[in-house]
Amino acid sequence: MAEAIKPKKTLDCVGLYCPEPLFQTREQIDSIEVGDVLEVLADDPAAEEDLKRFAKRTGNELLELENKEGTLRFLIKKMK
């Protein structure tokens, strides 16, 4: 069984709409160390595509994305 990923920080963007989750994610990813994981919670449907693109464009790794009853949970690993 795989070990659960432990995020260094959790960012709660539930109730916020584009572009706020993206802006806050960028700010928080800059505040953690390379190799650390940021957990982002959001309920804005646009956040899924925005944060996938953000991770790819910035060279970070989207480790996990799940949707539980309309709340998206992202685990993004800072790579550089």
Which residues does the annotation mark as catalytic?
18
Place of tokens 């899924």: 48
